[in-house]
Structure 1
């Protein structure tokens, strides 16, 4: 890993945005994300604010400099350096698997239509070796700094921290030693499903699951239903809430099929659905009783409660028809 650690601190060149910050893209992003703040889309309203006009949503920062549909298709003038070369180098050392990716956006100010952005990348850190149930590896942190081009000197407008855990799977890092046939079962580790984090805001939900009920949080102020549960209503900002018991039926709004990395004790391929309940809220849950090529958007589904390991009960959803 000496070559890997020697790369820490390396700076990579600029990656430009294809287009200036513009109102059509802002409007489309807000529509897709369900953002209705008039500061981003209503020119008349935005003109009355301290900004004097429309600004882009801060969370949209990374979107301006993405390459588009085709991989690595960046605008002229962008660097041809690969800021992720350290990950390729680690893969050559056997750390080929990825898990625990996270990213944190931070913002210096709003950006406005007409600005042209770019970012540079710095390999910020390669952590100490960590051993987990999945395997042994290293946390790698990269920081992308975003700038707006200015005649008097470019101005930093935000940054993105990207951290990934590159690891060597446990079965490769620690090969199982041969055992006698009679002791083979005892030699295999017994993995359990991770238990949910439970707080004062979510305890009612998991108590309901244990009781065979699908409970949805309801605001006492305006009656809005919300999931996942939280301390305050996003509609009327009331802190008072109770819950209703959902019928447990709905439709499949969207889904993914997890193939890799394989995390015990889940079975793969592992279909996970975004369920739109008949009550109007959506939740994420595992899909059961259906094959990959049988999954259809809009399929009617119904909840069923399955128990795993030492009494861990989870809501799963099964299609009501083929």
Structure 2
């Protein structure tokens, strides 16, 4: 019978070559997304002026070059390509460690990557801890070592990656607290009284949500609040399955509801199955009392639309 100790030193990802070579367009997109203006990631001449052979990739991109992409992730690895990973997952799930959260990552970089490099990665289990008690639930810390190599087999980086695989606590976790500030405090105070209100400009009468300090139409800083009727329709929605938070029940329907008054708000739909939700479906206000200090508006189908 395989134990957790048996996985120490075991390969769970055989050497895998990333689907694309290191290339300048991806480097540029990454640097722009991260707001990194270092010219060695964007300008060949500037990079050469520092003694480099040309544009280099940010060190933080190391993992990106070996990501399989969405389609390959959904389809799964080739048969037998990651048998160790599948066996470990099966053992963890059998023991009830069905949830996962990344806890930390440590990198050791050996050299910078340049355009044309082909990066491969191999992953080996370093250790699996005894069961630990955590705020999320009882779990085990799984530490693996990923070794990144180039087209010549030379090591370019080593990553120590740690996950917590845990058994969710039976008790419902507290719902995440909203960010309450001077602009929206009135809205949450009304919600605690089961009143759905909409901020209204005292200058031009325009309704607005989310709340803000200034009317976007006339620029007035004066406002009051109008009480909403509690009726509306589904403007848009998604059904959230992952990642899971222990405070919520899944599948979780997150919707943008357009109120009869014309403003929209992000909320949850209740009392309806995901497959029954439709754009334009009439909905009515209900209330979720998450705890003594937090009540939130939710919506359910108008009577007769869905069970």
- Whether contact under 8 Å (1:40, 1:57) holds in the other structure is no
Match of 1:255? 238
What are structure 1's unaligned runs of at least 5 residues? 172-190, 219-243, 276-282
CA distance in structure 1 between the aligned counterparts of 2:126 and 2:225, rounded to whole angstroms = 47
Contact 1:46–1:54 (CA<8 Å) still a contact in 2?
Answer: yes
Q: In the alignment, which residue of structure 2 is the partner of 1:54?
A: 55
TM value normalised by structure 1: 0.55
Deviation (angstroms), 1:16: 1.7
Q: Residue 220 of structure 2 aligns with which residue? A: none
Q: Distance in 2 between matches of 1:208 and 1:41?
A: 49
1:20, CA displacement in angstroms? 1.5
Hey, what does 2:156 align to over in structure 1? 156
Write the deviation string for residues 120-170 of structure 1: whole angstroms up to 9, x where unpaired.
2121322222457986543323332323344xx613335261413143x77
Runs of 4+ in 1 over 6 A off after TM superposition: 132-135, 213-218, 244-249, 251-254, 259-262, 296-305, 317-320
Structure 2: unaligned runs, 5 residues or longer = 191-196, 198-208, 214-222, 258-264
Distance 1:245 1:122, change over 3 A: farther
Q: How does 1:100-139 map to 2 (within 5 A)?
A: 100-102=100-102, 104-107=104-107, 108=109, 110-130=112-132, 136-139=138-141
Measure, in 2, the Cα distance between the counterparts of 1:17 and 1:138: 29
Shift of 1:95: 1.6
Q: Residues 259, 46 of structure 1: CA spacing in aligned structure 2 closer, same or farther, 3 A cutoff?
A: closer
Identify if the C-alpha distance between structure 1 residues 290 and 211 changes in structure 2 by more than 3 Å, giving closer, same or farther.
same
Is 2:194 aligned against 1:196?
no
Shift of 1:117: 0.9
1:115 CA displacement: 1.0
Question: Cα offset for 1:102?
Answer: 1.3
Query: Is 1:270 aligned with 2:271?
Result: no
Q: Distance in 2 between matches of 1:208 and 1:37?
A: 38
| Deviation at residue 116 of structure 1 after TM alignment | 1.2
CA distance in 1, matches of 2:172, 2:23: 49
Structure-2 separation of matches of 1:135 and 1:37: 37
- Asked whether the 8 Å contact 1:272–1:286 carries over to 2, the reply is yes
C-alpha separation in 1, matches of 2:279 and 2:62: 30
For the residue of structure 2 that corresponds to 1:5, the secondary structure is helix
Structure 1 segment 1-322 matched on structure 2, within 5 A: 3-12=3-12, 13-26=14-27, 30=30, 34-35=33-34, 37=36, 43=42, 45-49=43-47, 50=50, 53-68=54-69, 69-70=71-72, 71-73=75-77, 81-91=83-93, 94-102=94-102, 104-107=104-107, 108=109, 110-130=112-132, 136-150=138-152, 154-159=154-159, 161-167=161-167, 191-196=171-176, 202=179, 204=181, 207=185, 210-212=188-190, 255-258=238-241, 263=246, 266-272=248-254, 286-288=268-270, 291-293=273-275, 306-314=288-296
Distance 1:54 1:284 in 2: 43
Aligned to 2:193: none
Q: How many residues align?
A: 257
